[in-house]
A and B are shown apart, each in its own frame.
Chain A
């Protein structure tokens, strides 16, 4: 694969996907983000400040953990977890948030807004707002405020306003719609700190760049630990930020399979899933051309996943490109398979993963059985599961006597 295709072209396209489908009112603001990002990238002081925050505030580098007892359930393949769950705030989301918060300060803006599904991006954004003394409003689907109540409390504790969104499917898609509406009205003072590798150019590229640290660290750690590159890198994909972050620096390593795991909900042959790359079609959603779960008329279909963070009917355009080019593979994983993987990792390794990341774990279990005991599989453990205990307790009946 040639390297030039890995960078979007001047109009923000990865092959046929990406671009900038936005209202005129946001064009100046999005161009300002793009210009400021290019300036920041060339400024050693910006890089140094971000590196110091990642080290001293986030706690990077995040460790690489061999999970021997879990691996035994995966056909004996060696599974290595990239521990983004151990970052400050509990997920990979903080990497991008700190980068964009520094950018916001450079642009002279004083207010951050963000969408959140599982609440991890909202918590990270509220954290950065507290750290930098900025105002903060987080939009979260009403359904998600209920299933991720702990994170709502965390955001409010950090001083952010959390707005439950009651339009549409009341999940992540609608939270993004509402954040865009806020941004159009308040663009002079406000930066929309977009939380995934979707949206209009430059967000897919910029958010990926802020998360590349995951793959850069992991690649070196795996080489150091095993003396070789892994056979496969596995990550969950909703919008796709943790996956792009860990995939990107492995793209030139042709022998390394890149496997994104999408949320299949109750199954990809039912109407209740969020497997956009598996079941969607190219279209335009939230500012870029990408795969979208849509009906015959181009109306977005409501997605479903037990995981709020993967419950999204779109996906980042670079994933759409990697799918079509064949460089990455995308597989579905049901709610139940993810929940079983969540429980398995908890009980074999003493690590409670987020439900989102549990989709990647379930994918690794399946892949390990396919590849056999000689294989090494790197899994991005993108977040921790504390926020999911309400859902897990209900799912497994943990609070009313015997577990299932």
Chain B
């Protein structure tokens, strides 16, 4: 349970709109520039942010985030830098929930309890752990709960109803509904499978259900906002930075896209 995260999602709901959640990896485009990039998400209108922990083996990510992770690792990003980026962002934006999205092994290596403690100390709101199934999550959940960190689990179109109930019973903060079967990256179509999954997920929980994977435009954000509590966008932001001529131009492009998407989530 994280009251800051729950509060922000509830406030969006009270305004009869979906929340916008933006993702960018730490260490990208540079170790020091990552906090500026995340600031651009927030300045553009993101209600909450996810900071990715770059990994050598990002099996759930498409080419865009793979490229960003690769750049971040070549920049020499360390786990402690990810936590420092969280600290910088939360210090500058005390009301914005900041989550870390990470593959499990870096947390396992750091020590689950130690990572939870250091994330909480940095002002983090919680973690999304997409390759840690509920069955393996016991030690993490115990540490996170004690520190008031949210643990967001991912559900997929292939998840059966009974399993959805198991997952949502263990998760806190919100439920991350994967819009499509596949890795991260922009797609032309995102709506159809996601709507059914959100409906089935809601039948098992009162937690907000936020939809990610594939959303890159304001029109798609509006489409998803019509049935979800939040819209999660990652690769499209990363792509803006990859395409920019300079880091500053990248941050400006991120801010612009965030503003468009923030408008989108208000057009449900």
Residues of A within 8 A of B (CB): 11, 19-29, 167-168, 173, 177, 180-181, 184-188, 283-286, 292, 294, 296-300
Known: A20-B135, A167-B66, A168-B57. A297 touches B109 (CB 8 A): yes
Q: A28-B159, A285-B57 are known contacts. Are A297 and B181 too (CB-CB below 8 A)?
A: no
Neighbouring A residues of B130 by C-beta, 8 Å: 23-24
Instruction: Report B119-165 residues with CB < 8 Å from chain A CB.
Output: 130-133, 135-136, 153-160, 163
A22: which of B109, B110, B131, B157 is its contact (CB, 8 Å)? Answer: B131
Whether A299 touches B73, Cβ cut-off 8 Å, given contacts A21-B131, A22-B131, A27-B133, is yes
- Closest CB of chain B to A174's CB: distance in Å? 8
Question: Can you list 28 A-B contacts (CB < 8 A)?
Answer: A20-B135, A21-B131, A21-B132, A21-B136, A23-B60, A24-B156, A24-B159, A25-B178, A27-B159, A27-B163, A29-B158, A167-B70, A168-B70, A177-B58, A180-B59, A181-B59, A181-B62, A181-B182, A184-B182, A185-B183, A186-B181, A284-B104, A284-B105, A284-B108, A294-B109, A297-B79, A298-B107, A300-B57
Q: Check if A298 sits within 8 Å of B108, measured CB to CB.
A: yes
Taking A19-B136, A20-B136, A167-B66 as contacts, is the C-beta distance between A28 and B131 under 8 angstroms? no
Asked if residues A24 and B155 are in contact (CB atoms below 8 Å), the reply is yes
Beyond A20-B135, A184-B181, A184-B182, whether A25 also contacts B158 by CB under 8 A is yes
User: Closest Cβ of chain A: how far from B179's Cβ, in Å?
Assistant: 11
Collect the chain B residues with CB atoms within 8 Å of residue A186's CB.
181
Contacts of A24 in B (CB 8 A): 130, 133, 153-156, 158-159, 167, 178
For A298, give its contact among B109, B153, B154, B182 (CB under 8 Å).
B109
Are A187 and B181 neighbours in the complex by a CB distance under 8 Å?
yes
Contacts of B156 in A (CB 8 A): 23-25, 27
Given contacts A22-B133, A27-B133, A181-B183, contact A297 B60 (CB under 8 A): no
Q: Decide yes or no: A296 and B178 within 8 Å by CB, A24-B167, A25-B156, A284-B104 being known contacts.
A: no
Closest Cβ of chain B to A15, distance in Å, is 15
How far apart sit A188 and B157, CA to CA, in the bound complex (Å)? 11
CA–CA, A53 to B178, complex, Å?
41
Chain B residues within 8 Å of A23, by CB: 59-60, 130-131, 154, 156
Q: Is the CB of B60 within 8 A of A184?
A: yes
Q: Which residue of A lies closest to B155 (CB)?
A: A24
Given A184-B181, A185-B181, decide whether A20 and B133 contact each other with a Cβ distance below 8 A.
Answer: yes
- Contact residue among A26, A173, A298 (Cβ-Cβ distance under 8 Å from B106): A298
Tally of A-B residue pairs with Cβ under 8 A? 107
Chain A residues, CB < 8 A from B110: 297-298
Q: Which residue of B lies closest to A287 (CB)?
A: B131
Whether A283 and B105, one on each chain, are in contact in the complex, defined by CB atoms closer than 8 angstroms, is yes
Centre residue among B66, B132, B156, B178 by max chain A CB count within 10 A: B156
* Cα A180 to Cα B136 with chains together (Å): 20
In angstroms, Cα B70 to Cα A26, docked, is 25
Q: Which of A168, A173, A294 contacts B105 (CB 8 A)?
A: A294
Q: How far is the CB of A271 from chain B (nearest CB, A)?
A: 15
Chain B's nearest CB lies how many Å from the CB of A313? 9
Bound-complex Cα distance A28 to B197 (A): 15
Q: Within 8 Å CB of A284, what residues of B?
A: 104-105, 108, 131
Does A299 lie within 8 Å of B158, measured CB to CB?
no
CB of B56 closer than 8 Å to a CB of A:
yes
Contact in complex: B105, A185 (CB < 8 Å):
no
Residues of A within 8 Å of B163, CB to CB, are 27-28
Let me know if B183 and A184 touch, CB within 8 A: yes
Provide the B73-93 mask, 1 if CB < 8 A to any CB of A, else 0.
100001100000000000000
Closest to A181 in B: B183
Chain A residues near B17 (CB-CB < 8 A): none
B55 CB within 8 Å of chain A: yes
Interface set, chain B 12-64, CB cutoff 8 A to A: 55-60, 62
A228 CB, nearest partner CB in chain B, Å: 44
> A314's closest neighbor in chain B, by CB?
B57
Whether A300 lies near B56 (C-beta < 8 A) is yes
Contacts of A297 in B (CB 8 A): 78-79, 106, 109-110
Which residues of A have CB within 8 Å of B183? 181, 184-185
B263 to chain A, nearest CB (A): 30
Q: Which 5 A-B residue pairs are closest in the complex by CB-CB distance? A: A298-B109, A25-B156, A185-B182, A298-B106, A299-B56
Inter-chain contacts of A184 with B (CB < 8 A): 60, 181-183
Contact with A along B159-179 (1 / 0, CB 8 A): 110010001000000000010
A187-B158, A297-B78 known; A173 vs B59 contact (CB < 8 Å) = no
Alpha-carbon separation in the docked complex, A296 to B79 (Å): 9
Bound-state Cα–Cα, A299 to B133, Å: 20
A168 contacts B56, CB within 8 Å? Answer: yes
Q: Which B residues touch A181, using CB under 8 A?
A: 59-60, 62, 182-183
Candidate in A24, A26, A186, A284 with the most chain B CB atoms within 10 angstroms:
A24
- Residue among B56, B136, B160, B167 having the largest count of chain A Cβ atoms under 10 Å: B56
Measured CB to CB, the closest approach of chain A to B139, in angstroms, equals 12
Residues in B neighbouring A11, C-beta threshold 8 A: 135
Beyond contacts A20-B133, A24-B158: 7 other A-B pairs, Cβ-Cβ < 8 A, are A19-B135, A24-B156, A25-B182, A27-B133, A28-B159, A298-B106, A300-B57
Distance of A11 Cα from B182 Cα, bound (Å): 25
Residue of A nearest to B106 (CB): A298
Which chain A positions have C-beta within 8 A of B55?
Answer: 299
Cα–Cα, bound, A206→B181 (Å)? 26
How far is it, in angstroms, between the C-alpha of A29 and the C-alpha of B163 when the chains are bound? Answer: 13
Nearest CB on A from B15, distance (A): 30
With a cutoff of 8 Å between Cβ atoms, the chain B residues found around residue A294 in the complex are 105, 109
Verify B109–A28 contact, CB threshold 8 A: no
Contact A298 B62, beta carbon cutoff 8 Å? no
CA distance A164 to B136 in the complex (A): 33
B57 CB contact (under 8 Å) in A19, A25, A177, A188: A177
Shortest CB distance A288–B (Å): 10
